[in-house]
Amino acid sequence: MQSIGPNPSVTSSRSRPIDVEMGDNIGRDPDEAHVEHLLRVPDHTMLSIQAPSTPLPTPVTKALPHLPTAATPPTLALNNIPFTFPAPSQNAHLEKFPQTAGFAKGSSTRQTSKSRSRSRSPSPGGREGEQMATCSETARSKIRLVGIADPQKEALISALTEQISKSNNFLQIVGRQLEEIKRDTAALCIQAQEAENRSKQAEMAIQSQQTLSDVRLKDLEKSLKEDASQKVQLAEKRTQSMLLDIQGLRRIGSTPNTGMSEEVPMIIDRIPGKHSAPSPNPRPPVPPRFPQPALPPVHPHAKVDSTMCSKCYYQETDIFAEKCLSKPLPSMPLYFERPRSNGETTLPCSQSSESESSEDELGRSRPNLATPHPEELINLLFTTLGINARRGSRRRKGHPEFKDPAKKRAKEEGTTALTNWLRHHLHHLIGIKKTRDILKLPDEIYASNTELQRTMALWETDKTGQGPTVDPMKINWDNFEGPWNMQLCEAFVQYCIEKGLGEGNPPEDVKEFVADYFWGRLQRLRTTIRKNKPGADEDPETHNARVEGRHLESLVIARRNTRRNQLFKDRVDICFDNLPKTASEIVTDEQRLWKARYDIVQALGPEGMSSDESDLDSDKKTFIVKKIPWRNRRLTEVVQGIDKSRNLTNAYGNTRPGNSPRTRIRRDRPRKSARKKAPTGKPVDMYDTDWYEKLTYRKQIALKAERAMKY
């Protein structure tokens, strides 16, 4: 909206009638009447109207001395355009048509203002002129409002509408988020309640388990105390009885040179000259704490000395002398260890009686057993309770001069094929074809502080860096049982499953078999690496020559073992050719003879077959048989009879397919076999008589000879 008012300086005489007409018709125009209605604000509305921040300056009016000063009209801003309300006039009779009266007289506004400013003194003729001037000013103060379109209105309305829509969208998003927060809060409350319930249940379960464990612990402590007290009492009783036996207070013997009957037993004290009264209820002697070792079997062809005691089981050695069962045995040791010599020389068993020795000799040869050492009693008490008082356990190994025969375990069906399959894949991942190819990787097996070794150590300690990979597979030979190789084992099992092991879902026992094979194969590779490790001052050429020489020696030994195994199989096949299918069909003497030969061959085993070597002096391919020192000479005749019965032709009289049998020559004075260790567990009559008799008692025990076959 815009306000338009008359300008006194521009108003002409021609425009005054038009203004008068417009002023006279102002009430009849409906738009102007509406504007006037808007301008006439009620009193309660006028209170809320605020003046603009920069109001228009009010013209200074010089009031006449006889006229009152007109009040400043109020201002109002419409569309940021201020305008002033008409001030009320004191002359009521001139308020109705002020402009009409002024314009009718034909005086201009400028003249009116001049005449008003000039008339300073009151005059009766000038009052009417002043009233007319006042009416003209009142008429000019009216504002005509014309409706003009605002160009910013639509833009403001659209901006406001867009802002309102954005606000509504934002409020909707906030509302949805609040609803989601409410739902999440409710779900969290439910979870918290469930967790609290579970924690309460867990606490109750823990309390019940703790109560149950306390009860069990009390019962266990009670039972342990009872068992310990019983064992201690039993140990005390045994200790007392053993001490009595050691002191000789309970040995029962006959009474010499007395009037008593020989049937009346009497307890003889070991102290000379002292005798105690016979016990009314003599108890049987306490059995020995440790069982006596089993006597080695006597060779059927051995020459037994008639002067020796039949109960003698100790033979003379470089440390121990012969002892007889007729002589009281020394107390058995608490642990089966090798006894050490105290620097004394023991005498062999003599036929003289114990009474012929002097008391001084008895005192020197036998310790004072009446007062045993406290440490021995403590060890004895621990042994009775089943507690080993030793700090560590010592592994009992076989005798160094003997060797236990190889025991072949029965393999399940398909085990050999699976082993070959695993070996092929494992060697492929490591980058070798056979075991000796591992020596071709010296940078991995013999070098130190390499980048690969540092990577392995960093991964094992901090689990950082590159971990183990299955292809290519790098073994940590420095820390064989460390985390690196354990991870490789798991990866190898998974690799085999991916390659089709067990159709992708093998059972647990197959997985364990694969893991065991992995560790066993790595162990054999590590043994090869250690055996062929170069010396400190050994150059590469010397090392390679030594490794190659050792390999050739192993090949020679392997060929000998192969020939012995093949010889054993050939002799077994010869026995089968001369035997019926079942044992019930053996009826003739010849069949019984072949059954005995078969038993002998089976008892000898591959280790009982004689070795041979190539005859370099002969042009033909012959082998010289070597002598086995420990084998009985009679067995040579048995195996020769088996070899002579070999059938070299088939049923049609033609030569059998396959390799021809080797020609083995036996000399009068054959060379001894390089195998120094005799196999254990053979029948005693399979060992050579002279060789067996030269063995000491301990060696005969370690040989573990079985009873004779009587072939």
Separate counts of helices (H) and strands (E) for the chain: 19, 11
Q: Using 50, 70 and 90 to split pLDDT, how confident is the model at 171?
A: very high
323 close to 349: Cβ distance less than 8 angstroms: yes
In the predicted structure, residue 369 carries a pLDDT above the cut 50 = no
Length of the chain, in residues: 711
Residue 27 lies in a domain: yes
Residue 543 lies in a domain: no
In the predicted structure, residue 509 carries a pLDDT above the cut 60 = yes
Asked if residue 528 and residue 568 are part of one domain, the reply reads no
Report how far residue 236's alpha carbon sits from residue 419's, in angstroms, rounded to the nearest whole number: 57
Residues 6 or more apart from 673 whose CB is under 8 A from it?
A: 610, 611, 626, 627, 628, 629
Burial of 4 (0-12, 13-18, 19+ CB in 10 A): exposed
pLDDT digits (tens, 9 = 90+) for 76-134: 555 555 555 555 554 444 444 444 444 434 444 444 444 444 444 444 445 555 566 55
Asked if residue 566 and residue 527 are part of one domain, the reply reads no
Residue 375 lies in a domain: no
3-state secondary structure of 179: helix
SS (H, E, C) 312-361: CCCCCCCCCCCCCCCCCCCCCCCCCCCCCCCCCCCCCCCCCCHHHCCHHH
> Distance of alpha carbon 115 from its chain centroid, rounded?
118
Report how far residue 254's alpha carbon sits from residue 265's, in angstroms, rounded to the nearest whole number: 6
Work out the angle at residue 34's Cα, subtended by the Cα atoms of residues 31 and 38, and round it to the nearest 5 degrees.
140
Helix (H) or strand (E) holding 709: none
Q: Which residue has the higher pLDDT, 644 or 337?
A: 644
What six digits make up the tokens of 245? 């036996």
pLDDT digits (tens, 9 = 90+) for 225-277: 888 888 888 888 888 777 776 665 444 443 344 343 333 333 333 333 444 44
What six digits make up the tokens of 469? 């990979």
Residues 6 or more apart from 458 whose CB is under 8 A from it?
A: 464, 465
Residue 438: its pLDDT value, please? Answer: 92
3-state secondary structure of 185: helix
For residues 652-663, average pLDDT = 80
3-state secondary structure of 418: helix
Report how far residue 4's alpha carbon sits from residue 711's, in angstroms, rounded to the nearest whole number: 155
Residue 195: its pLDDT value, please? Answer: 92
- Which domain-ending residue is among 128, 146, 164? 146
Asked if residue 99 and residue 8 are part of one domain, the reply reads yes
Angle of helix 508-531 relative to helix 483-498, nearest 10 degrees, comes to 130
Asked if residue 11 and residue 120 are part of one domain, the reply reads yes
3-state secondary structure of 252: strand
Report how far residue 415's alpha carbon sits from residue 513's, in angstroms, rounded to the nearest whole number: 10
Asked if residue 591 and residue 499 are part of one domain, the reply reads no
Residue 347: its pLDDT value, please? Answer: 37
* DSSP conformation class of 439: G
Residue 436 lies in a domain: yes
State pTM to two decimals: 0.46
Residue 334 lies in a domain: no
β-bridge partners, 16:
none
Residue 315 lies in a domain: no
Helix (H) or strand (E) holding 664: strand 663-665
Asked if residue 16 and residue 90 are part of one domain, the reply reads yes
Asked if residue 573 and residue 518 are part of one domain, the reply reads no
For residues 412-421, average pLDDT = 86
Task: Name the H helices within 431-539.
Answer: 442-445, 451-462, 483-498, 508-531
pLDDT digits (tens, 9 = 90+) for 536-593: 888 888 888 988 998 898 898 888 889 899 999 999 999 999 999 888 889 999 999 9
Instruction: Count other C-beta atoms under 10 Å from residue 468's C-beta.
Output: 21
How many domains in the chain?
3
- Which domain-ending residue is among 146, 162, 183? 146
Asked if residue 6 and residue 138 are part of one domain, the reply reads yes
Residue 67: its pLDDT value, please? Answer: 45
Report how far residue 662's alpha carbon sits from residue 615's, in angstroms, rounded to the nearest whole number: 12
524 close to 438: Cβ distance less than 8 angstroms: no
Asked if residue 528 and residue 589 are part of one domain, the reply reads no
Residue 488: its pLDDT value, please? Answer: 94
Q: Using 50, 70 and 90 to split pLDDT, how confident is the model at 672?
A: confident
In the predicted structure, residue 504 carries a pLDDT above the cut 50 = yes
Residue 328 lies in a domain: no
What's the start-to-end Cα distance of the chain, in Å? 145
Report how far residue 594's alpha carbon sits from residue 573's, in angstroms, rounded to the nearest whole number: 12
pLDDT digits (tens, 9 = 90+) for 314-336: 344 333 333 433 444 344 333 33
Report how far residue 59's alpha carbon sits from residue 74's, in angstroms, rounded to the nearest whole number: 13
- Which domain-ending residue is among 533, 554, 587? 533
Asked if residue 493 and residue 624 are part of one domain, the reply reads no
Give me the chain's average pLDDT, please.
71
What six digits make up the tokens of 559? 């060929």
Asked if residue 509 and residue 642 are part of one domain, the reply reads no
Residue 107 lies in a domain: yes
Q: Using 50, 70 and 90 to split pLDDT, how confident is the model at 519?
A: very high
pLDDT digits (tens, 9 = 90+) for 466-501: 899 999 999 999 999 899 999 999 999 999 999 988
Domain extent, residue 589, equals: 562-648+660-679
Asked if residue 6 and residue 105 are part of one domain, the reply reads yes
Strands (E) across 67-111 are located at 75-78, 81-84
Among 508, 505, 429, 518, residue whose Cα is nearest residue 472: 429
Report how far residue 676's alpha carbon sits from residue 329's, in angstroms, rounded to the nearest whole number: 35
571 close to 642: Cβ distance less than 8 angstroms: yes
